[in-house]
Amino acid sequence: MTLSKSDGSTDSLRAETRLVVSGRDTASQKGFVNPPIVRGSTVLYPTAGDLYAHRGEFQYGRHGTPSTRALQDALMALEGPHCAGVGLVPSGVSALSTALLSVLKAGDHLLVCDNVYRPTRQFCDGFLARYGVETTYFDPLIGSGIAALLRPETRVVMVEAPGSQSLEMPDVPAIAAAAHARGAIVIDDNTWATPLFRRALEQGVDISIQAATKYIGGHSDVMFGTIAANASAWPALTETIRLLGLCVGPDDVFLTLRGLRTLAVRLYHHQQAAMNMAQWLARRPEVTRILYPAWPDDPGHAIWKRDFTGAPGLFSIVLKPAPQQAVSALLDTLKLFGMGYSWGGFESLIIPFDCASYRTATKWTPGGPTLRLQIGLENVDDLKADLERGFAAFNAHQ
């Protein structure tokens, strides 16, 4: 999918303004505020000459439409001036696999952070291994120590900052500097912060993906992935998307762009509510640790302060040691916190997790049961009352 910034450059504007004004071409929208939902495969050429020369803004539905162009323009404006293009794909997982496929070939070596999204590991250990790519996992806290793991054939270093369960925070600029010194490229999963709270491409990342299913879509009603690349990574990425035949439906594009318009107002609220909740949880006797880089006692706090401009509503907690039935009683008592996978919607969620079963480079020993919370847009005092009831049930089963 090719791109143009149809509204001209928005780089001088602040991020909140860019979220509102980018990807809108009022004249071509015949005055309407939003771009149309274009359903289309065939694009007609007015003359044989145009057909031979492939002349025209759009060529074929799979390669882009006014709908996809508008979303790409808005995402590019958010990613910032280092972004050469944004690919649109049907899910966050397909964003990760497509980014890796755009760079790797048989015989290559891949370094992957031990805290990455679990399906990424399954793609590396299953699919990529079958195609002759070898994966080594590394400690999320390795920093510039990554240099010792880089081999002549290491092509990619993959990071997630912070990991979406353990919330461990890798030092991406240090890892990227070591990787680039040895000719490897850096792929990062920036779903937690979104480009609003961290411009990954300005911190040494070459390809930054979003599970737009999460905060960008923002309403738990769409599956979507985006892949932003810098100028050196973009040509191979756009070619890979074309060769794999990846494209996205116009309704999903519409929902994603609609979500993107309110990203800032939602994330600022999630951040404030999550910090308020973390302060409350830190005083609870049932909670032994808060895993949230925005939290001052978190081991990743210094890196978060340096590299991020905010934190969303997703964090984890460690409970004091307790039998499984105490944790289940807590979860079964909650009414406002839903139990389910994914996050980034308007609603609060809670899920137990255990990284220990699939880690390979490091051991995960939190010292008690772990829960991940997404603090949604409900009133935070109502959410506290819900958890208060849950903790009472937890204590009754101790």
Among 191, 230, 240, 370, binds ligand PLP (CB under 6 A): 191
- What are residue 189's DSSP bridge partners? 160, 209
- For position 223 contacting ligand PLP by CB under 6 A, the verdict is yes
- For position 91 contacting ligand PLP by CB under 6 A, the verdict is yes
Q: Which is nearer to ligand PLP, 311 or 329 (CB)?
A: 311
Integer Cα distance of 226 and 241 in angstroms: 11
Among 64, 66, 92, 259, binds ligand PLP (CB under 6 A): 92
Residues 140-169 that bind ligand PLP (CB under 6 A): 160, 164
Q: Which is nearer to ligand PLP, 91 or 203 (CB)?
A: 91
Integer Cα distance of 171 and 257 in angstroms: 31
How far from 123 is each of 174, 242, 266, 277, CA to CA, in Å?
26, 20, 32, 35
- Read off the tokens for 290: 């808060």
Residues 201-220 that bind ligand PLP (CB under 6 A): 211, 213-214
- For position 194 contacting ligand PLP by CB under 6 A, the verdict is no
- Read off the tokens for 59: 């060529």
Q: Shortest approach of ligand PLP to residue 377 CB, angstroms?
A: 19
Give the residue numbers marked as catalytic. Answer: 62, 117, 189, 214
3-class SS at 316? strand
Q: Shortest approach of ligand PLP to residue 91 CB, angstroms?
A: 3
Q: Which is nearer to ligand PLP, 99 or 211 (CB)?
A: 211
Q: Shortest approach of ligand PLP to residue 238 CB, angstroms?
A: 20
Q: Which is nearer to ligand PLP, 208 or 213 (CB)?
A: 213
- For position 190 contacting ligand PLP by CB under 6 A, the verdict is no
Q: Which is nearer to ligand PLP, 93 or 103 (CB)?
A: 93
Integer Cα distance of 73 and 9 in angstroms: 10
Q: Shortest approach of ligand PLP to residue 229 CB, angstroms?
A: 17
Query: Would you say 222 and 259 are in contact if contact means Cβ atoms under 8 Å apart?
Result: yes
Integer Cα distance of 294 and 288 in angstroms: 17
Type of residue at 311 = A
Integer Cα distance of 186 and 197 in angstroms: 19
Query: Would you say 238 and 367 are in contact if contact means Cβ atoms under 8 Å apart?
Result: no
Integer Cα distance of 309 and 370 in angstroms: 27
- For position 97 contacting ligand PLP by CB under 6 A, the verdict is no
Residues 309-348 that bind ligand PLP (CB under 6 A): 342
Contact set with ligand PLP (CB under 6 A): 91-93, 117, 160, 164, 189, 191, 211, 213-214, 223, 225, 342
